[in-house]
Structure 1
Amino acid sequence: MAETRKSVEDVKNLPVGEKFSSVGVVLDIHEKKDKNGKSYWTVSLMDKTGSMDAKIWGNAQWWDFREGVKSEIKDPASSTLVGNLKGSSIGVTGQVSEFRGKNQYNFNQVFLVDQEKEEYRPESFVQTSPVDVKELERRFDLLVDRCSGDVRSFLEELFSKGGDLWKKFRVMPAAVSHHHAYVHGLLEHSITVTELALSMAEAIEGQARPDRSLVVAGGLLHDLGKLEAYVLNPGPGMTVEGTVIDHIALGYSRFEALAERYKLDRTVRTALGHILLSHHGLREYGSPVLPATPEALVVSAADELDFKLFCWGDSVSQLEGGVEPEDSVSDLNYSAQRRFWKWRPDGERS
């Protein structure tokens, strides 16, 4: 398999009918039943280039390859090895097919591999931010430096580089699948949202006079609840609390406890708490309150913009770009509920 092994990104560039072999970590796997009652599996596989969803049909072959010798698993549906694959690395061979006009990836063989062997260690397949983490840390520090007074002191204490909160905030994903679903994703997303929000705040300075310290603090803290909503195991996953309570409520609860501990000014505390609770913009998107201050409005708008720009980039990454629909218009992005247009090929500038 190693000689012809393809990355997830390589596989996504293959035409229909092409065969491939690959190795990655299992983000998620679910056994299902077809109309004849036969088991098949849906699986999400990640490597450092991205993730893909695939099907493992009932006629696929499963192999125990942990000792370096293929031993067939004849009844995968009853195998404890197969039932505990989430978070493990596997090898696969498969083929690209087409379903309802979209590429579908079918794994025809699945190889259970030695998790301790260097080439198969699960953590080595987990995707990380495309931005170097040292650059992200530099941008984060510059944003904190834009603050003043109690807000700056609060952020400096909260995100102390030796503290547990910073260590977790630095590595966590921002999602499981929708956007920035990789190591350092939360840090990257929070910084981008804050930089966008700060630019908007500066643009409306003469109209609304937003407090820049609050904008920065709100942008950096808006997804604080994702520290409890998500896990890395070793790829992104969701906790029970994240599923049934959601990151907005979790974030507000944690923020209130931290604000109390650091004796944050009551008005500042309320204004920042409002940003955390309103940053999704609409009640139907999960926010219990609507943005009601200039600072909350720009953070909410920046959060939505960063999310949609990420969806655009992810949707058009395999397209050449141009005026022909087949080259430039994406499939429906279900997260953003739209198709995206890549009207200009990569490298072309006006």
Structure 2
Amino acid sequence: MTTKKLFDYQNDENLALFVLIKAADVRVAKNGKQFIAFTFQDQSGQISGKYWDASDEDVALFTPGKIIHLQGKRELYQSNPQIKIYKLRLATEEEPQVIEQFIQKAPVQTADMEEEISQVLFEITNPNWQRLVRHLIQKHQADFFSFPAAKTNHHAFAGGLAYHTLSMLRLAKTIAAQYPQIDAALLYSGVLLHDLGKTLELSGPVSTEYTVRGNLIGHIVLVDEEIVKACETLKIDINSEDMLVLRHVVLAHHGLMEYGSPVRPQILEAEVLHQIDEMDASITMMTQSLQHAEAGQYTERLFAMDGRHFYRPVNDQQLTQD
């Protein structure tokens, strides 16, 4: 008998299963009592739930990274799924204890991603860019291929950072083939480096949080610092035009200054990189949400996409439940 996962349960259905606590934020309700805002996770996805009137002992016991047995009911709140918690307890030694069993993973094996990305490095024909990118990928390799691309929203699963990068590389190669005026080597270099700072911004694939430098500085500035340090190590002139345009492509990839980029795209490859990044992130967020929607129904509202929700057509044959 197959054990049901979080998203195997329907709205208003009671549930009882083991889950991983991905996040546990302690807050205070209007009545002055504290509660815990949980994010529960298994390989089918993530759902929130509030544990009311939490004691100090509950706060100390139910922390991120713990596997628990959860009893409750799935329901909707403002069009978003959540768990009404009846009861929870820590898993015993005889019950599931392997965290990896509850973590979503990239749909491509790590070794395959490593191989495909390695091949693209040979297509970076500018020697300084290739040396720099190869150096930084090797420096952060373990984290780059295991970290998520975000705490929530897009590619928020183990290996999501590398998978997001790989998806963007595939798009970049197709676009560069269509538009020969694009400097493919610059675009590929920018794609490979643009989110590398997330290995410093985030804590890792389990119960992902922002690090102190992630919160205070952010991945865009962090990766630019890595580029500058790598140039010093490799004896590459940081003020050469090669390095200035590469740094610009990376620094401008969020498109707008209010979204975290210190500059807006001012060269062709920077704008293309920004558009590719937006496309891959948006498609991934929509796909994950649509997979959890019934045919003929709407998804929950996606905060990262202006609070919109999306309709899953009745005859949709491409999206299937995990």
Question: Do the two structures share a fold, i.e. TM-score over 0.5?
Answer: yes
8 Å Cα contact 2:248/2:265 also seen in 1: yes
Aligned to 2:298: 329
| Secondary structure in structure 1 of the residue aligned to 2:312 | coil
| Secondary structure in structure 2 of the residue aligned to 1:46 | strand
Aligned to 2:76: 98
| Secondary structure in structure 2 of the residue aligned to 1:28 | strand
Structure 1: distance between partners of 2:112 and 2:275: 24
* Residue 303 of structure 1: how far off its partner (Å): 0.4
Structure 1: distance between partners of 2:161 and 2:122: 20
Query: Sequence identity of aligned pairs in percent?
Result: 26
Structure 1: distance between partners of 2:274 and 2:303: 21
The structure 1 residue matched to 2:194, chosen from 222, 237, 240, is 222
Structure 2: distance between partners of 1:181 and 1:79: 30
* Residue 341 of structure 1: how far off its partner (Å): 3.4
8 Å Cα contact 1:282/1:289 also seen in 2: yes
| Secondary structure in structure 2 of the residue aligned to 1:274 | helix
Look up the equivalent residue of 1:182 and give its one-letter code: F
Aligned to 1:30: 25
Aligned to 2:97: 120
Q: Go from structure 1 to structure 2 and tell me whether the alpha carbon gap of 1:136 and 1:332 turns closer, same or farther (over 3 Å shift).
A: same
| Secondary structure in structure 1 of the residue aligned to 2:140 | helix
Aligned to 1:7: 5
* Residue 296 of structure 1: how far off its partner (Å): 0.9
The structure 2 residue matched to 1:181, chosen from 156, 167, 176, is 156
Structure 2: distance between partners of 1:335 and 1:305: 13
Structure 2: distance between partners of 1:297 and 1:233: 30
In the alignment of these two chains, the number of paired residues is 314
8 Å Cα contact 1:256/1:273 also seen in 2: no
Structure 1: distance between partners of 2:105 and 2:124: 29
8 Å Cα contact 2:11/2:76 also seen in 1: no
Q: Is residue 171 from structure 1 mapped to residue 146 from structure 2 by the alignment?
A: yes
Q: Is residue 261 from structure 1 mapped to residue 257 from structure 2 by the alignment?
A: no
Look up the equivalent residue of 1:86 and give its one-letter code: P
Structure 1: distance between partners of 2:59 and 2:52: 17
Aligned to 2:317: 346
Structure 1: distance between partners of 2:205 and 2:106: 17
* Residue 309 of structure 1: how far off its partner (Å): 0.5
Structure 2: distance between partners of 1:233 and 1:281: 26
8 Å Cα contact 1:278/1:289 also seen in 2: yes
8 Å Cα contact 1:4/1:21 also seen in 2: no
Q: Is residue 85 from structure 1 mapped to residue 56 from structure 2 by the alignment?
A: no
Q: Go from structure 1 to structure 2 and tell me whether the alpha carbon gap of 1:180 and 1:117 turns closer, same or farther (over 3 Å shift).
A: farther
8 Å Cα contact 1:57/1:108 also seen in 2: no
Q: Is residue 135 from structure 1 mapped to residue 112 from structure 2 by the alignment?
A: yes
Which range moved further: 25-34 or 96-105? 96-105
The structure 1 residue matched to 2:132, chosen from 149, 154, 157, is 154
Which entry has the higher C-alpha Rg, 1 or 2? 1
**RMSD of equivalent CA atoms:** 2.3
Aligned to 2:271: 297
Structure 2: distance between partners of 1:280 and 1:254: 18
Give unpaired runs (5+ residues) of structure 2: none
Q: Is residue 309 from structure 1 mapped to residue 283 from structure 2 by the alignment?
A: yes
Structure 2: distance between partners of 1:93 and 1:331: 23
Structure 1: distance between partners of 2:297 and 2:177: 34
Structure 2: distance between partners of 1:118 and 1:144: 44
Look up the equivalent residue of 1:153 and give its one-letter code: R
Structure 1: distance between partners of 2:135 and 2:88: 48
* Residue 329 of structure 1: how far off its partner (Å): 3.2
1:253-291 deviation line (CA, Å, top 9, x unaligned): 112111221233522211111111100011111111011
| Secondary structure in structure 2 of the residue aligned to 1:231 | coil
Which range moved further: 105-114 or 280-289? 105-114
The structure 2 residue matched to 1:45, chosen from 20, 40, 48, is 40
Structure 1: distance between partners of 2:78 and 2:20: 27
Q: Go from structure 1 to structure 2 and tell me whether the alpha carbon gap of 1:285 and 1:81 turns closer, same or farther (over 3 Å shift).
A: closer
* Residue 301 of structure 1: how far off its partner (Å): 0.7
Structure 1: distance between partners of 2:123 and 2:30: 60
Aligned to 2:87: 109
* Residue 306 of structure 1: how far off its partner (Å): 0.7
Q: Go from structure 1 to structure 2 and tell me whether the alpha carbon gap of 1:81 and 1:39 turns closer, same or farther (over 3 Å shift).
A: closer
